[in-house]
Chain A
């Protein structure tokens, strides 16, 4: 095995900046991803509104946010923060502080996703970019680590925000939490798995993936 291949096979992890610099094509890709996420976040909220302001029945954007994070590392957190703050917050008429608080929710969600997936993938022998999502072991890992745990954490944070700004009464907390969590589980299980299976090899071969948080 050659020196370069050996370095690549060290693989995806949680080091800060192992593969500098960030290139112009990478920055353009991140900007486009942020644009896509913003539009999808806005569409998710306005196309299927529920009684809670800034929240839609199914947050379709999450289906793309998960692959963005697995591919782009910490940039996925930035994409999630921008997309949700603007798309699900400012563009739907929420005040700026609440919109930013919504954005922080995605940082928590995608941050926990990145730490768990990158941290555990090698240990469980699954692909860190989710190319094996349609194998038995790959799907189980993906379903638990990408489809559930981060959304429980994100859901808890989201409910705290919604309750504190007065968008939901105390007796609606369990239902709202279940709605946020299960909605994301459905979207991620269907959309993210397809996106990862189809596009992970292409994104990687184009040199757009991050091996650590930044590069």
Chain B
């Protein structure tokens, strides 16, 4: 056996500790081999079994799970090896009780320094009271000498871009960090231990695009320097393709496809079928039957040589215009937290009725703070904010704001509090006085939009993080507020689910409601948003359309944002053809190419 990590016909179902129904199999015969020192990617739709597969590699499943009455053969089949050692297996003839074999569990889990795993939600793995102690905790367990611990902590924090916190690390509580910083700390904690095998389960979902790339680049460098094997679970094709040697597609508890990173994204039909993210240019080429040497392109360079460069402005789509009614007007808004951190420094903003506005910026730029002011959660420390014509500095106005401005928290656990999914959605509706006849229909429609209609009686505690996020979105969507603010609504969701949530927001917008989205997903911005306001260090540094932002290198540099692939391709095309339309997203490209094909039916390349 040469593979460093090997899963052979691995099946797993979580135990059901109550009721007479068994849980379904979550993993249905996973076959996977990962070589030593490989940077291996895993992608797949939400709920496909990616995280469970990672836990099975380490042996957290089944060794850390209570199996009722040791009925191992009822929950587990197949074997897992790491570094030639058996991590998990079942001897089906063993464990005989009352004359019936229940299976005997073989192997034992692996831990650091052999292996480590950074979880999707960093808060689930924080144990200590300070940043310094959190990052050094694993090193202390490894009984490293104190100078070695200090140097590794410093190095790890610097590698994840938190070097500026090193001197105060002893006095900073992990809870006081932003979502993105928490993720960096979780990664630093494991980088410091330098495990042979490091599993990263969507570890950068709360980071801005540049931050995400920087952190994964650091992991990549470190893995090469210390001969580490990396398994990265991720949705973003650019990250996976750039850093991974090979990628696996996990779907319905099976590995459906494994291929080299570039070749992987040419299986467009399979990826499309599973509803995972693909490169925009691949999607465009697949739908318009464009090929380069018989294959769909995945990069800009490949696309330049197979996409027609002689499109003209007539195919450029028009952007829907919002009404002129201003529903939010912020002038010179300032906000300082109690510890003195100045989050906003004179923000000027107008939000119009019926527009989808993206609030962008790097981690810590003040987006969430501004959104919480607009919802009345925070009171500005300076400047004025008028929402629907009312000055929100008045307490009475702020207490009434949630009736008109819905806010979906970045962390769903800050929002969800009932013991039933249906009750969570119903709570706000009941407060609005919705009648019983209408209530059930609105609950069902909201849950259906986020794919949770069959979970109405489930306890939110037993939903996955992605599902809890969708529930948080559904509970606000159901209220149909005049303005809805969604803070990172699509983090960790697959392409199909993002499309479903965004279509519902678009529907609300078409009814005349206003949508404000905080996101790091630039493709989403290009696909759905009418206008962009970008913050940096608490100030507005850009206010315009996505098309203007993503085609302007100066604006991109000022906002520290990256343009999505579709519009990057248009910009590249315009370098050779000034009349080339500025197509902002995949849909505009597809429409333009279809129009082009109709105009030139005998065009050989199409």
A-side interface residues toward B, CB under 8 Å?
Answer: 1-5, 7-9, 18-20, 23-26, 198, 201-202, 204-207, 209
B252-273 Cβ-contact flags toward A at 8 Å (1 or 0): 0000000000000000000000
Are the C-beta atoms of A2 and B68 separated by less than 8 Å?
no
Q: Across chains A and B, which 5 residue pairs bring their CB atoms closest together, nearest first?
A: A207-B66, A5-B20, A207-B17, A204-B18, A23-B66
B4-34 Cβ-contact flags toward A at 8 Å (1 or 0): 0000000000011111111000000000000
Residue in B19, B68, B74, B461 with the greatest tally of chain A CB atoms within 10 Å: B68
In the bound assembly, the distance between CA atoms of A1 and B20 in angstroms comes to 7
In the bound assembly, the distance between CA atoms of A179 and B499 in angstroms comes to 64
Are the C-beta atoms of B68 and A7 separated by less than 8 Å?
yes
A7-B71, A205-B462, A207-B66 known; A2 vs B22 contact (CB < 8 Å): yes
A4-B22, A5-B22, A23-B66 known; A204 vs B71 contact (CB < 8 Å): no
In the bound assembly, the distance between CA atoms of A26 and B17 in angstroms comes to 14
Contacts of B18 in A (CB 8 A): 8, 201, 204-205
> Which of B15, B64, B461, B462 is the one whose CB lies under 8 Å from A4?
B15
Are the C-beta atoms of B16 and A4 separated by less than 8 Å?
yes
A-B pairs with CB below 8 Å: how many? Answer: 61
Are the C-beta atoms of A206 and B20 separated by less than 8 Å?
no
Contacts of A3 in B (CB 8 A): 71, 74
A sample of 4 more A-B contacts (CB under 8 A), given A4-B22, A4-B68, A202-B461, is A4-B74, A4-B75, A5-B22, A8-B18
B-side interface residues toward A, CB under 8 Å?
Answer: 15-22, 64-66, 68-71, 74-75, 419, 459, 461-462
In the bound assembly, the distance between CA atoms of A198 and B462 in angstroms comes to 15
Distance in angstroms from B98 CB to nearest chain A CB is 11
Are the C-beta atoms of B15 and A198 separated by less than 8 Å?
no
Contacts of B15 in A (CB 8 A): 4, 207
> Which of A5, A25, A207, A209 is the one whose CB lies under 8 Å from B21?
A5
Are the C-beta atoms of A8 and B17 separated by less than 8 Å?
yes
> Which of A4, A202, A209 is the one whose CB lies under 8 Å from B69?
A4
Contacts of B462 in A (CB 8 A): 205
> Which of B17, B66, B71, B461 is the one whose CB lies under 8 Å from A25?
B66
Are the C-beta atoms of B69 and A19 separated by less than 8 Å?
yes
Interface CB pairs A-B, < 8 A, 29:
A4-B16, A4-B22, A4-B68, A4-B69, A4-B71, A4-B74, A5-B16, A5-B22, A7-B68, A7-B69, A7-B71, A8-B16, A8-B17, A8-B20, A8-B68, A8-B69, A18-B69, A19-B69, A23-B65, A23-B66, A24-B64, A25-B64, A201-B18, A201-B459, A202-B461, A204-B18, A206-B17, A207-B17, A209-B17
Distance in angstroms from A107 CB to nearest chain B CB is 26
In the bound assembly, the distance between CA atoms of A118 and B146 in angstroms comes to 53
Closest to B75 in A: A4
Distance in angstroms from A53 CB to nearest chain B CB is 36
In the bound assembly, the distance between CA atoms of A100 and B22 in angstroms comes to 45
Distance in angstroms from A7 CB to nearest chain B CB is 5
Contacts of A209 in B (CB 8 A): 17
In the bound assembly, the distance between CA atoms of A20 and B95 in angstroms comes to 12
Are the C-beta atoms of B419 and A198 separated by less than 8 Å?
yes
In the bound assembly, the distance between CA atoms of A45 and B71 in angstroms comes to 45
Contacts of B16 in A (CB 8 A): 4-5, 8, 205
Distance in angstroms from B93 CB to nearest chain A CB is 16
> Which of B20, B66, B70, B459 is the one whose CB lies under 8 Å from A202?
B459
In the bound assembly, the distance between CA atoms of A20 and B102 in angstroms comes to 14
A4-B74, A198-B419 known; A19 vs B20 contact (CB < 8 Å): no
Contacts of A20 in B (CB 8 A): 70
Closest to B18 in A: A204
In the bound assembly, the distance between CA atoms of A23 and B71 in angstroms comes to 15
Distance in angstroms from B67 CB to nearest chain A CB is 9
Are the C-beta atoms of B17 and A204 separated by less than 8 Å?
yes
Are the C-beta atoms of B17 and A205 separated by less than 8 Å?
yes
Contacts of B68 in A (CB 8 A): 4, 7-8, 19, 207
Contacts of A25 in B (CB 8 A): 64, 66
Closest to A23 in B: B66
Distance in angstroms from B4 CB to nearest chain A CB is 27
Closest to A24 in B: B64
Contacts of A202 in B (CB 8 A): 419, 459, 461
Contacts of B419 in A (CB 8 A): 198, 202
In the bound assembly, the distance between CA atoms of A5 and B13 in angstroms comes to 14
Distance in angstroms from B181 CB to nearest chain A CB is 27
Closest to A10 in B: B69
Contacts of A9 in B (CB 8 A): 20
Closest to B462 in A: A205
Distance in angstroms from B99 CB to nearest chain A CB is 13
Closest to A129 in B: B18
Distance in angstroms from B71 CB to nearest chain A CB is 5
Contacts of B66 in A (CB 8 A): 23, 25-26, 207
Distance in angstroms from A111 CB to nearest chain B CB is 25
In the bound assembly, the distance between CA atoms of A18 and B74 in angstroms comes to 17
Contacts of A201 in B (CB 8 A): 18, 459
Contacts of A4 in B (CB 8 A): 15-16, 22, 68-69, 71, 74-75
Distance in angstroms from A157 CB to nearest chain B CB is 34
In the bound assembly, the distance between CA atoms of A43 and B66 in angstroms comes to 34
